[in-house]
């Protein structure tokens, strides 16, 4: 099914013209397709089949309450990295026993809260964190379920800023030291060792790095068994890429089937933490052309969305599609789509052949993941609205910030 079909020159979300959404909710606005989110999540669930395990959506990719609520209703678990994400998941109706808690810098307060609600497990990333978690669990009079995030030193072949499974990255525990750290974890009071975890990077477009990492983890699990430590689950992280332009990542089912084949008789449950592959292509950023500014060197279209709304192009030189919402006759020229922010790096697309006029609406494609969640108030710009479409109906799932929101909670110094 096409979630963003073009019908007689008009771009739709499901069966609603995007122009209607701009009319009702203004711009810039993130627009999500309920069907696209549902289908991508269910592709993971179906691929998991009756193998025991959990599909834990990585909340950092999209933490909108409407999105989290939809996924919770579909039976999702969640991968969180902060107390804030925990609060949002609980508010959206996520089940604590389906939450895995990742991240290199968990605070004692966040650990306490996660213990109180009873998360599925803590993915521990260092020995210091292990010692602290043991202390906090003892103070709370409880036992923390623990999985060690291992750094398998595998090259994920992705952008260096989003590669996480190499020795030089800050993430996880060096796989060579993992047996020792497991022995320490097993000996510490207040902890129960339940699993092993790795996440080697994001926007992976090849199967091999996943399988290399998995093989290293399985060898580790074998070693641990000989030392009397047996695990209940293996967590392969997230990281599966999507098509932004011409990338051809393996389909969800191909990845999961390859993983399941290697786990077949291990008795291990399979935990996954997909983010981008569930929501990136379920969302677009709807923006309006404010001014056209052709120059001798370049043609700039100044749009009302900026790097504060979607920082991926500036941060990773990411390419995301840009389509005119309602096509019209006009000369096609090559445009840079730039925002109002005072930075040369403030662009959402470069060198795009488009027939444009001031007032046109543009959809920046594939922005459902790491779009709104990485947005900011830079240049004191209110954050965009977020809308969910179901068939031909649109619901506001987060109101646009107002100018009053920009000064809330802040006060002038007394004279």
Ligand X SMILES: Cc1ncc(COP(=O)(O)O)c(C=O)c1O
**Catalytic (active-site) positions:** 342
Check binding of 238 to ligand X (CB under 6 A): yes
Output the CA–CA distances (angstroms, integers) from residue 83 to 2, 70, 103, in the order listed: 36, 21, 11
Toward ligand X, which CB reaches closer, 235 or 386? 235
Lay out the site mask for ligand X across 63-102 (x = CB under 6 A, - = otherwise): ----------------x----------------------x
Q: Evaluate whether 278 touches 61 at the Cβ level (below 8 Å).
A: yes
Q: Is 312 assigned a ligand-binding role in the annotation? A: yes
Q: Counting contacts by CB under 6 A, is residue 237 touching ligand X?
A: yes
Q: Are 293 and 275 in contact (CB under 8 A)?
A: no
Contacts of ligand LYS in 97-136 (CB under 6 A):
none
For position 277 contacting ligand X by CB under 6 A, the verdict is: yes
Cα–Cα distance measured from residue 324 to residue 287, given in angstroms and rounded to the nearest whole number: 10
Q: Give which of 268, 296, 274 is closest to 195, Cα–Cα.
A: 268
Task: Name the strand (E) or helix (H) holding 394.
Answer: strand 393-398
List of residues 6+ apart from 415 with CB closer than 8 A: none
Interaction of residue 12 with ligand LYS, rule CB under 6 A: no
CB of residue 169 to ligand X, shortest distance in Å = 10
The DSSP letter of residue 272 is: E
**162 binding ligand LYS? (CB under 6 A):** yes
Using the minimum distance from each CB to ligand X, give the nearer residue, 61 or 70. Answer: 61
Per CB under 6 A, does 312 bind ligand LYS?
yes
Q: Is the dihedral of CA 150, 156, 158, 160 positive or negative?
A: positive
Q: Among 62, 202, 287, 375, which residue interacts with ligand LYS (rule: CB under 6 A)?
A: 202
Residue 232 three-state SS: coil
Instruction: Out of 276, 312, 381, 383, name the contact with ligand X by CB under 6 A.
Output: 276
- Do 243 and 318 touch, CB atoms closer than 8 A? no
Report whether 343 belongs to an annotated binding site.
Answer: yes
Residue 398 contacts ligand LYS per CB under 6 A: no
- Using CB under 6 A as the binding rule, whether residue 125 contacts ligand X is answered as no
Does 352 contact ligand LYS by CB under 6 A?
A: no
The site map against ligand X for 26-65 (x = CB under 6 A) is: --------------------------------x--x----
Per-residue contact string for residues 271-310; x = within reach of ligand LYS by CB under 6 A: ----------------------------------------
Q: How many Cβ atoms from other residues are within 10 Å of residue 352's Cβ?
A: 20
Site stretch for ligand X (CB under 6 A), options 257-265, 269-277, 301-309, 356-364 = 269-277
CA distances from 24 to 19, 301, 310 (A): 9, 23, 22
CB-neighbour burial class of residue 361 (10 A; exposed 0-12, middle 13-18, buried 19+) = buried
Size of the site for ligand X (CB under 6 A): 15
Question: What part of residues 44-63 is at the interface with ligand LYS (CB under 6 A)?
Answer: 60
Q: Which of 202, 281, 308, 366 binds ligand X (CB under 6 A)?
A: 202
Cβ-count burial of 42 within 10 angstroms (0-12 exposed, 13-18 middle, 19+ buried)?
middle
Q: Is 239 annotated as a binding residue?
A: yes
Q: To the nearest whole angstrom, how small is the minimum distance from the Cβ of residue 243 to ligand LYS?
A: 14
**Cα R_g (the chain), whole angstroms:** 23
The token pair that represents 317 in the structure block: 């030189």
Burial of 10 (0-12, 13-18, 19+ CB in 10 A): middle
Question: Binding site for pyridoxal 5'-phosphate: residue ranges?
Answer: 239, 273-276, 370
Contacting residues toward ligand X, per CB under 6 A:
58, 61, 79, 102, 199, 202, 237-240, 273-277
């Amino acid at each position: 099914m096409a979630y963003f079909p073009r019908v007689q020159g008009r771009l739709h979300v499901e069966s609603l013209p995007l122009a209607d959404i701009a009319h009702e909710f203004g711009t810039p606005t993130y627009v999500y397709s309920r069907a696209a989110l549902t289908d991508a999540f269910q592709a993971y669930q179906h691929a998991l089949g009756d193998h025991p395990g959990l599909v834990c959506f990585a909340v950092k990719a999209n933490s909108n309450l409407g999105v989290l609520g939809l996924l919770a209703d579909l039976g999702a678990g969640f991968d969180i990295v902060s107390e804030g994400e925990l609060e949002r998941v609980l508010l959206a109706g996520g089940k604590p026993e389906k939450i895995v808690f990742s991240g290199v810098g968990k605070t004692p307060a966040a650990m306490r809260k996660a213990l109180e609600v009873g998360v599925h497990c803590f993915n521990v990333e260092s020995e210091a964190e292990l010692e602290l978690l043991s202390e906090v669990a003892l103070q709370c009079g409880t036992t923390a379920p623990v999985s060690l995030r291992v750094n398998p030193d595998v090259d994920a072949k992705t952008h260096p800023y989003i590669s996480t499974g190499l020795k030089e990255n800050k993430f996880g525990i060096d796989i060579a030291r993992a047996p020792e750290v497991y022995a320490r974890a097993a000996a510490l009071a207040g902890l129960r060792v339940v699993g092993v975890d790795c996440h080697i990077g994001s926007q992976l477009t090849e199967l091999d790095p996943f399988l290399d990492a998995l093989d290293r983890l399985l060898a580790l699990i074998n070693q641990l068994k000989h030392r009397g430590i047996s695990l209940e689950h293996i967590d392969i992280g997230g990281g599966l890429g999507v098509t932004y332009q011409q990338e051809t990542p393996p389909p969800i089912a191909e990845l999961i089937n390859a993983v399941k084949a290697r786990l077949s008789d291990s008795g291990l449950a399979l935990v996954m933490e997909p983010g981008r592959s569930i929501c990136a292509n379920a969302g677009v950023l709807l923006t309006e052309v404010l001014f056209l500014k052709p120059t001798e060197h370049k043609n700039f279209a100044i749009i009302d969305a900026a790097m504060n709304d979607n920082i991926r192009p500036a941060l990773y030189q990411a390419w995301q599609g840009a389509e005119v919402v309602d096509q019209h006759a006009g000369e096609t020229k090559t445009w840079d789509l730039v925002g109002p922010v005072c930075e040369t790096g403030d662009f959402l697309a470069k060198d795009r052949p488009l027939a444009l006029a001031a007032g046109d609406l543009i959809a920046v494609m594939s922005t459902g993941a790491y779009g709104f969640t990485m947005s900011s108030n830079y240049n004191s710009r209110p954050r965009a609205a977020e809308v969910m479409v179901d068939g031909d109906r649109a619901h506001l799932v987060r109101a646009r910030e107002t100018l009053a929101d920009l000064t809330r909670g802040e006060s002038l110094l007394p004279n």
